[in-house]
């Protein structure tokens, strides 16, 4: 079993580390304080190929494999966790399109996505239906040869900035088979947005969206009617491992800073790293972070080989965010009172990474998926 990366992947990692240090990290705190996404960020990310990673070269993308996409997410999140939502959304929306869209639709939507000209959103969650997405209530009401979308979505990452959204709406009966996917112009005047005031990840513009008869035509439906829920679930099986690496990138950065501080800070006449009570918790979290990284890359490697990544990806989705929250918390405690100041990024990292314990599937949903694989559906919750 090969646990390494190719020379090309290592070179890409090094380039991303430099890009993150120069272009992203200096803005991490300011963007949080301003609760905004810098207008120049999508183009900067596109310039590094990060919005087109999973898009084929014929549409202007990088045609990167899943492992490389995860590597990029890990590196970018080390510098600025919130900027990585552009990478994540672009990869997930591209995955959904490539699974069901026609060649004409791909030519329409993928090139501007790869160029960073359009910011995408995944528009699935509803006020009363988060984990129970198969029973969503946004209606696609027939209107001539198309539909009008009526209802509300909430907790939409990049919702305040998105130009286009992969929107899931009910075209058929109750249940998963009644859900269809549409690519929707988010600037439509029949769609309104309200920003949410969040504890963390304030720069990503999480929003509630209100559809008051937004018109979509047959050319906007992705795949067949009733296939939308299956499409997004297939995408989640892959994206959950990428989310795991986003969180672990933050944890790794926080632990690295804590280790540096443990070498420099002195107490009782010696570096604080000399004290087992401080050093051993950092060792424990460094060990667990390394193990969780292998789990994430196992899932992405399975994806690349055409095998089902659902079990390790969902294991990663419940474990990596929780582990990262705990690791960043320990890093904050290592800094002591210095970690309590907003001059230190560790507090913001803690607030930000908590969000992905909730977003894109709760721990309970991920464990349910794994339980059904391990036990069999007839024996599982």
Q: CATH no. for residue 198?
A: 2.40.110.10
The phi and psi torsions of 306 (rounded to 5 degrees) equal 80, 15
> Is residue 375 located within the same domain as residue 245?
yes
Report the candidate in 11, 84, 170, 49 with the shortest Cα–Cα distance to residue 360: 84
> Is residue 290 located within the same domain as residue 200?
no
- Specify whether the CB–CB gap between 340 and 332 falls below 8 A: yes
> Is residue 235 located within the same domain as residue 192?
no
| Residue 206, domain member (yes or no) | yes
Among the candidates 58, 91, 118, a domain finishes at 118
> Is residue 125 located within the same domain as residue 112?
no
Burial letters for 174-206: b for 16+ Cβ neighbours within 10 Å, e otherwise?
eebebbbbbbbebeeeebebeeeebebbbbbbb
> Is residue 216 located within the same domain as residue 245?
no
Domain harbouring 362, CATH code: 1.20.140.10
| Residue 278, domain member (yes or no) | yes
- Specify whether the CB–CB gap between 366 and 315 falls below 8 A: yes
Range of the domain at 163: 121-226
Domain harbouring 35, CATH code: 1.10.540.10
Q: Total structural domains in the chain?
A: 3
Among the candidates 226, 260, 277, a domain finishes at 226
pTM, rounded to two decimals: 0.95
Among the candidates 226, 251, 270, a domain finishes at 226
Between CA 376 and CA 381 the distance in angstroms is: 10
Residue-wise pLDDT tens for the chain (381 aa)? 677 899 999 999 999 999 999 999 999 999 999 999 999 999 999 999 999 999 999 999 999 999 999 999 999 999 999 999 999 999 999 999 998 999 999 999 999 999 999 999 999 999 987 667 678 889 999 999 999 999 999 999 999 999 999 999 999 888 778 899 999 999 999 999 999 999 999 999 999 999 999 999 999 999 988 887 777 777 777 899 999 999 999 999 999 999 999 999 999 999 999 999 999 999 999 999 999 999 999 999 999 999 999 999 999 999 999 999 999 999 999 999 999 999 999 999 999 999 999 988 899 999 999 999 999 999 999
């Amino acid at each position: 079993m090969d646990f390494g990366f190719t020379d090309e992947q290592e070179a890409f990692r090094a380039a991303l580390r430099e890009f993150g240090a120069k272009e992203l990290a200096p803005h991490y705190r300011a963007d949080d304080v301003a609760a905004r996404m810098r207008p120049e960020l999508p183009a900067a990310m596109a310039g590094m190929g990060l919005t087109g990673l999973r898009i084929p070269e014929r549409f202007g993308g990088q045609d990167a494999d899943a492992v490389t996409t995860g590597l990029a997410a890990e590196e970018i999140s080390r510098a600025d966790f919130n900027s990585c939502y552009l990478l994540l959304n672009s990869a997930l929306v591209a995955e959904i399109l490539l699974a069901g869209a026609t060649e004409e639709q791909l030519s329409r939507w993928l090139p501007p996505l790869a160029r960073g000209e359009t910011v995408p959103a995944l528009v699935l969650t509803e006020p009363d239906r988060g984990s129970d997405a198969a029973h969503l209530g946004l209606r696609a009401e027939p209107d001539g040869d198309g539909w009008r979308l009526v209802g509300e979505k909430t907790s939409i990452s990049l919702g305040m900035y998105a130009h286009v959204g992969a929107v899931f709406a009910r075209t058929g009966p109750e249940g998963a088979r009644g859900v269809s996917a549409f690519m929707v112009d988010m600037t439509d005047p029949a769609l309104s947005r309200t920003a949410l005031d969040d504890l963390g990840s304030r720069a990503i513009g999480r929003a509630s969206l209100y559809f008051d008869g937004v018109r979509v035509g047959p050319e906007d439906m992705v795949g067949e009617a009733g296939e939308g829920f299956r499409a997004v679930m297939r995408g989640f099986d892959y994206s959950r491992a990428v989310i795991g690496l986003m969180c672990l990138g933050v944890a790794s950065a926080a632990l690295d800073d804590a280790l540096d501080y443990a070498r420099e800070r002195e107490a009782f006449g010696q570096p604080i790293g000399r004290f087992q009570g401080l050093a051993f918790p950092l060792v424990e979290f460094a060990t667990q972070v390394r193990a969780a990284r292998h789990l994430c890359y196992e899932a992405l490697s399975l994806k690349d080989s055409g095998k089902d990544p659902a079990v390790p990806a969902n294991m990663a989705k419940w474990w990596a965010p929780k582990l990262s929250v705990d690791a960043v918390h320990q890093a904050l405690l290592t800094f002591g009172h210095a970690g309590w100041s907003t001059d230190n990024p560790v507090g913001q990292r803690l607030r930000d990474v908590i969000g992905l314990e909730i977003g894109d599937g709760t721990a309970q949903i991920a464990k349910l998926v794994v339980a059904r694989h391990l036990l069999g559906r007839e024996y599982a919750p």
